[in-house]
Amino acid sequence: MRGPARGRECLRGHSHWWRSRAICTGARKTLEVIFAHRLHFSWCRPDAAIEPMRKQVEAWQRSELTDVTAKVVIYEAFIEGRLEAPKHLARSVHDLYFEPKYEEFRPRTIWSLSNAFTFAFKELDPIPQFKATVKLGEFLEARFSQSF
């Protein structure tokens, strides 16, 4: 058995262990990290905890954004201060979204915008990076929840 769980116990009080593990596994787990802050991860039924995240990722990959909407979201995040993240990253997020380094992030979607933020957060030290990533999940969920 992995992690601090024993027998059929659930890992409700230790969801931070999952978040730390997920953030260290690389960019492909980015959105899992974003949503992990709200999980009560169950070692009894891990698929039950991951399934909502998988559906959210797929929805964000299908959700196209206009360039204007993406710019407004970046503006709201940094200029209006709706995201607790350093303001100097605004230009990096903009450039990473509109000129992505990886082909899979070329589509103009919420998923690609989320990845632009998380790639820009790599400029931060680990603890601020983690905190900004968690806040990003809350910000994007609130911003786009009415879209689904």
Please tell me the pTM assigned to this model: 0.67
Q: What is the pLDDT of residues 95-129, one digit of tens each?
A: 999 999 989 899 999 999 999 999 999 999 999 99
Question: Which tokens go with 20?
Answer: 């730390």
Any alpha helices (H) in the chain, and if so which ranges?
A: 15-23, 30-36, 46-62, 67-78, 90-98, 110-121, 126-144
Residue 39 banded pLDDT, cuts 50, 70, 90 = very low
CA distance 132 to 118: 8
CA distance 67 to 17: 37
